[in-house]
A and B are shown apart, each in its own frame.
Chain A
Amino acid sequence: MAAEAKLSHTAAMILQAISAGYVYGFSIMEMTGLPSGTVYPAMRRLERDDLIRSQWEKQSIADAEQRPPRKYYRLTADGKATLEASRKRYPLLERLISTEEAKSL
C-alpha cells in the first residue's frame, strides 16, 4: 500500500488509535467512540491492505490473568507511512487521540 493512499477519516482514526497504543478492539472503540459494527470491519480492511497486523495473545499469559486471550493489533511499516500521510490530510487527528494519553493509562 502506497504511503499516498487516501484513507477515510474513520480508518485514519483507527490507525491513529492503534499508533497511540490502543491495541485492542474494545479500547479502540472506547477511544474513537465508533461502534463495534464500524470498528471491526474497518480493521479487517486495514489488515487486508497490510496497514495493520493482528496477533493473538499467548494462551499462557491469558491463563495467568484468568481471562480469554485477546487479539491485539499493531501498525505495519506501510501503516505508519499511510498514517503520516493521513495526519497531513487530517491535522486534528493527533489532537483527537494523543499518544501521551494512551501511555498514561
Chain B
Amino acid sequence: MKPSEDRACRALQNGMVCAASYLVPADRRCEWRCEWKAELWHVRHALCGCGAFSWQAQCEVTSFCLGSLQDALCLRRQSRPAAKAAPRLSGAAGQCILRLGTLLAVCVVLARLLPGVQAENDPARFQVNPGVILIQTFASTDQFAPTISPALFRDWKSTRQRYFDEFAFYRTVGETAAWSARRAGQWRVTHASSNLFSLLGLALPFVPFPSDREGGLSAVIISHDSWRRDFAYDPDVAGRVIRVGDRSARIAGVMPYGMWRLPGEPDAWLLEPDAQLVKSSPRARGYLVAHLSPRGQAAMQGQCIWISVRASEDEDSEYYGVSFAGRLRGPWNIFGFALVLALLALPAVTSVTMGESNYSSHRPSLKRTLLRWAFLLAKFLLVAAIAYFASVDLAWWNSSNYSPVAEFAQLVWAFTICLFGFRWALADQRQRCPVCLRRVTHPARVGLASRTFLGWNGTEMMCMGGHTLLHVPSLPTSWFSGQRWMYLDTSWEFLFADSGAW
C-alpha cells in the first residue's frame, strides 16, 4: 500500500470531477456532481477494491474522471442557444491569429525535431576562444577557399611574431579509409595540427590514448555523419584502429553534431605533429588558424586584421585575418539583418500607410482603434517569428557543419518571408472592418470605367457584421485616391445574422 500516492490520486480524481461539475450549467451542477461522485465511489470499489495500490487501476479510475469532463463539455454545448452555438467566424481576427499561431507552432516543432536546426540554435556552438582568427591570402576571391601553404605555416610558427602567439594549420584532402577488413570508402580527411581544437577552444569529449605516442598511431576524430553512415552509431567506436590513406590511426572520438564550423566538411580529422603536416606537397593549400597576441588584438580593425609580409626585397605578400566572432554570426544575427532589410524594402512593394478615409465624420472608439493596431502588431510579430523559424528550418535542416551556403539560404528565406509576410499583413489589415476586424467580403463592381469623369468606379465590399462598407477605387483620381470606409448605423443590423460576433 502506498498511502501517499493513493491520497494524491484520490485528490486528483475528486478535483477532476469537481472541475467538471463547474462546466455544467449551474441549475444541473449539483445533480451531476452527486452522480459522478457516486459512480466514482463504485468505480474505485470495483477497480481498487482489493486494497493494494495499482497504477493501472488508478489510470482506469482517472480515465473515468476524464470522461466526466467530456460529459460536462457535451452538456455545456447542448445547453447553449442554437444561434450562439455556431457564430460565423469566417475571416475573424481570432481565426487569423490562430492560423498564424498554428503555422508558427509547426515551424517551432520542426526546429525542435531537425538535428541541424538544433545544432544551429545551440549557443555552445558559437563559443570559440576570443582572439582566434582565420588567415587567408588577400588575393583570394573566395573567402572559403584554402590559400595557405604548409611552408608558410612552418615559417610563421618558427619565427617570433608580434601579432600572434599560437598557430594551427589544417588542410582537407580526399583519401581512402578502411574501417574494417572488408569495408572501405573515400573520405574527406582533414590533416590538422594537434593543437587545432585546443586553440579553437572546442571542448570535445575525446579519449586520450597515451600509448599511441610511442606506437606511432595518430589520433583521428570522425564526424557525426561518418559515425552514422559507416559505423551505424557504434557506441564503442572510440579506440578502434582504422586505415586512413597509407597509415593507421586510432579513433579518439566523434565530433558532436554541428560543432565544426570552419570551412570544409570533412569526414575525419587526423591530428598530426607539425613536422608531418609540412611534409606534404609544396602545392598543397590549407587554412591557417592563429591566436592574436594583445598587440594583435589592438591592431584589429573591426572583425578583420590586414597582414603585410615582406616576401622578397621588392615584393610584399598581403594576408587578412577574420575573427571567428565575425564569421560565426549565428541564426539570430542573420535573421536580424534580414529583418532590417525587409523593413527597408517594404515601402517598395506596398504602401505602408493604411491610406484610407471616411465618408462620414464617424470615428471608431479609442478601444477599437487600439485593438486594430494591436492586431496589426500581433500579425507582424507572428510573421517575423514564422520567418525566423521557417528560414532556420529550411536552411539548416540537414547541415551538420558550418556552411556559408546555409547561412546565405537562411538570409534569403528570412528576407523573403519577412518582406512578403509584412506585405500580406498590411494588405490584410486594409481589408478588415475597423469595428469588428473581420475581412470585408462580397465584392461588387460599382460604376463604369468609361464614366470615370462623371462618377467613381471601383469595388465595394461589405462587412458581414453590418458595420461598414469599403469602397476601393479601381482608378485613383484626385478626388478619390484611396479606399474609403462607410460606417453603417445600427438600423442595418437586422440584416446581418452575426453582427455581434467577432
Contacts and interface: CB of A to CB of B under 8 A. Distances in A.
Interface of A: 24-26, 29-30, 35-41, 44, 56, 67-71
23 contacts: A24-B39, A26-B39, A26-B46, A35-B70, A36-B63, A36-B67, A36-B68, A36-B70, A36-B71, A37-B70, A37-B74, A39-B67, A40-B71, A41-B70, A41-B75, A56-B34, A67-B41, A68-B34, A69-B38, A70-B38, A71-B34, A71-B35, A71-B38
B57 to A, nearest CB: 14
A44 B70 CA distance: 13
Contacts of B71: 36-37, 40-41
B42 A44 contact: no
Given A69-B38, A70-B42, A44 B69 contact: no
A71 B78 CA distance: 22
A39 B35 CA distance: 13
B1 to A, nearest CB: 20
Contacts of B38: 68-71
Given A37-B70, A68-B38, 17 more contacts: A24-B42, A26-B43, A26-B64, A35-B63, A36-B63, A36-B64, A36-B68, A37-B66, A38-B70, A40-B68, A40-B71, A41-B74, A67-B41, A67-B42, A68-B37, A70-B39, A71-B34
A35 B41 contact: no
B45 interface: yes
Contacts of A41: 70-71, 74-75, 78
Contacts of A56: 34
Contacts of B66: 36-37
Contacts of B46: 26, 30
Contacts of B39: 24-26, 70
Instruction: Determine chain A's interface SS by DSSP, over half rule.
Output: helix
A37 B45 contact: no
Contact of B45 (A30, A35, A36, A67): A67
A20 B497 CA distance: 48
A69 B38 CA distance: 6
Among A25, A35, A56, A70, find the residue whose CB has the most chain B CB atoms closer than 10 A: A25
Contacts of A36: 63-64, 66-68, 70-71
Contacts of B67: 35-40
Nearest to A54: B35
Contacts of A71: 34-35, 38
Contacts of A39: 67
- Which 8 pairs show the lowest CB-CB distances between chains A and B? A36-B67, A37-B70, A41-B74, A37-B67, A68-B38, A40-B71, A26-B39, A70-B38
Nearest to B38: A68
B46 to A, nearest CB: 7
Interface string B37-80: 11101110110000000000000000110111111001100100
A29 B324 CA distance: 66
Nearest to B64: A36
Nearest to A40: B71
Contacts of B68: 36-37, 40
B73 to A, nearest CB: 8
Contacts of B45: 67
A30 to B, nearest CB: 8
Nearest to A56: B34
Contacts of A37: 66-71, 74
B41 A68 contact: yes
Contacts of B63: 35-36
Nearest to A27: B42
Contacts of B74: 37, 41
B257 to A, nearest CB: 44
A54 to B, nearest CB: 9
B79 to A, nearest CB: 11
